[in-house]
Amino acid sequence: MRSYDATAIILCGGKGTRTGSKLNKVLCYFGAKTALEYCLDVVSPFCRNIIVTTADDDRVEITEIAKKYGASVVLGGETRTQSVKNGLQAVGDCDIVVIHDGARPFVSAETVRNCIESAYKYGSGIAAAKVTDTIKKVADGMITSEIDRDELYCMHTPQAFSAAEIKKAYNLVSGTYNDDSAVYAAAGFSPRIVPDNGDNKKITYPQDLFSVPPCQRIGLGVDFHRFAEGRPLILGGVHIPYEYGLIGNSDADVLTHAVMDALLSAIGEPDIGVLFPCTDEFKGADSIELLKTVKEKIDRKNRKIIWISATIMAQAPKMRDYISDMRKRLSEALCIDVELINISATTTEGLGVIGEGKGIASSAMCLIQ
């Protein structure tokens, strides 16, 4: 990934009162990371230096995150405009300044790169998404006119500029502005937009705090096998002493099968029935070894396992004494910390084929970065 002679200013000084959260929204978690960490993950590869603005109340937490990325922290102002000014004062010599709201954690690397390259070519690159809804002017609850949406765009960040021009603009212009393109235009420069998409939304309202980042995927897997005599009972790669085992072309490890299908669904791959069909090639196969093959697919796609949660549904035998070993075997096969895997077990209170002791089912969910 190309690194430019650019400095990023990440704005994190807001209070985020509309979210209803007691935390600054940039410190709220989305999956395994805070909003600020997502921003820094995407922006930092393109920029030689990063400056994070913060409110005094959040200085300790934000400084702790920023230092992991080699970013410096400056105190923001009462308004967004003042926070940018404070950030610009800390910017050294560079070609481009990239200004981004810390409350937009889902920005793509493509958008960051396109904004910077536009700034090199035209002096500015403003991420903006075309308005798709019908827009009308309203007064006293009555529609007064319709606005042609073909010329309307929603302003996003990042907004990248020639460093010399954006510094000059903020020195020339007084007052408070909603975004940097307005300051740039007020100083006599011509802001140029860069098309963006709807994924780069700003965390504003309570429901936004429950968003799943576009870079994360949830996977679901379910499996069921019948009991039979003369078969070993293998669950999560662990042999469990019992009078029956499970029928299958492989070792019929229903738990590992559910985990594999969850992981495969999250990375957009076919299920295990397609990848490991009921042929002689996989007859008696060790499901833990098949799980390692699934992990190789995850690695090739540059994906990361954040969390796995699985449930075993069986009337018997009792699973309690074996769950710790199951978690360990799965974690070893996937090369992840055992704490990232949770396994629970339940009965069906005697109901259905599971309650009648005819087999075992398992379900699994995963979160993939």
Across residues 38-60, what is the average pLDDT?
95
* Res. 63: pLDDT tops 70: yes
User: Which pLDDT value is given to residue 153?
Assistant: 93
Residue listed under structure tokens 């889902």: 106
pLDDT tens for each residue of 310-352: 999 999 999 999 999 999 999 999 999 999 999 999 999 999 9
Per-residue model confidence (pLDDT) at position 210? 61
Of 61, 59, 57, 102, residue with least CA distance to 203? 102
pLDDT in tens, 239-275: 999 999 999 999 999 999 999 999 999 999 999 999 9
CATH number of 4-210: 3.90.550.10
Given the DSSP bridges, would you call strands 245-246 and 238-239 parallel, antiparallel or unpaired? unpaired
Q: Is the pLDDT of residue 181 over 60?
A: yes
State which fold the 217-368 domain adopts.
60s Ribosomal Protein L30; Chain: A; (3.30.1330)
pTM for this prediction: 0.66
Going by C-beta distance under 8 Å and a sequence separation of 6 or more, which residues neighbour residue 177? 80, 81, 183, 186
What residues does CATH 3.30.1330.50 cover in the chain? 217-368
Percent of the chain with pLDDT over 90: 82
Q: Give start-end residues of each CATH 3.90.550.10 domain in the chain.
A: 4-210
Neighbours of 132 (CB within 10 A): 10
Helix (H) or strand (E) holding 59: helix 59-68
Q: How far is CA 117 from CA 149, 164, 259, 353, in A?
A: 27, 16, 42, 61
* Average pLDDT score over residue span 219-241: 95
Q: For 121-130, 173-182, 215-224, which range has the lowest pLDDT when averaged over its residues?
A: 215-224
- Rounded to an integer, the average pLDDT of 282-305 is 93
Side chain identity, residue 339: E
| Predicted pLDDT at 30 | 79
